[in-house]
Amino acid sequence: MQETQFVLMLWFIGIVAEAMTGALAAGKQRMDLFGVVIVGSATAVGGGTLRDMMLGNYPLIWIENWHYLLAIVLASLLTVVIAPVMQYLTKLFLTIDALGLAVFSVIGAQKTLMLGLSPAVAIVMGVITGVFGGVIRDILCNQVPLIFRKELYGIVAIVTASCYVTLQLAGTEPWLNLSVSLWLGFSLRMLAIRFSWSVPTFHYSIGERR
């Protein structure tokens, strides 16, 4: 199996996991099945779509290959069916989601470097790809995005994308870079969940600003 196929497989697992988090969030808002599918889809492809629209990088992946959308729609609907047993699968689910986060961050950075853009922009795009699906999900569900408040989610995206970009610039062999970056991101996310690591919060309440 080639490295591109390997990444594609991981990416596919990632978008399915993201579609499921979107469908569950929709269920918490008691949305109908149409809402479930839309929120699931927006969560799954939202980060990558925003990245490519910012880069002017057309056509979008899911427009070029609509089979991904079909998989996302099915994953969203499947989530509704298996929701009653989801409580027993929390650990499995968090694990897949952590893998998805690492893969999205690496892919976002990788695609940006391939377009010949700067390392700094590649890291930013890795973060956008990794976390903005979740941001769009929470906006559609009328919530303050949870990744802005809890756990080490955004930081994992920054570290993962930075690691990938650094090793790439250092001329590391692609397979090695991929393995190290994905493993670092995945481990960091799992450790953050296990030990409830979080980023300091900023609480501002003085006065009233527009």
Q: Within positions 131 to 150, which residues make up the interface with a copy of itself, using CB under 8 A?
A: 135, 139-150
Least separation, in Å, of the C-beta of 29 and a copy of itself?
5
47 binds a copy of itself (CB under 8 A): no
Residues 6+ apart with CB under 8 A from 4: none
- Which CB atom, from 4 or from 90, has the smaller least distance to a copy of itself? 90
59 prior amide bond cis, ω within 30:
yes
Residue in 10, 17, 49, 178 binding a copy of itself, rule: CB under 8 A: 49
If the CB atoms of residues 132 and 178 are measured against a copy of itself, the closer one turns out to be 132
Enumerate long-range contacts of 189-196, CB under 8 Å, 24 or more apart.
189/98, 189/101, 189/102, 189/152, 189/153, 189/156, 190/94, 190/95, 190/98, 192/151, 192/152, 192/153, 192/155, 192/156, 193/94, 193/98, 193/151, 196/151
Which residues inside 63-122 make contact with a copy of itself, applying CB under 8 A?
A: 63, 66, 69-70, 80, 83-84, 86-87, 90, 93-94, 97, 117-118, 120-121
Phi, psi of 13 (to 5 degrees): -60, -40
Stretch 5-24 residues interacting with a copy of itself (CB under 8 A): 21, 23-24
Select from 91, 170, 196, 209 the one that contacts a copy of itself (CB under 8 A): 209
C-beta of 1 vs 144, nearer to a copy of itself: 144
Among 16, 17, 36, 167, binds a copy of itself (CB under 8 A): 36
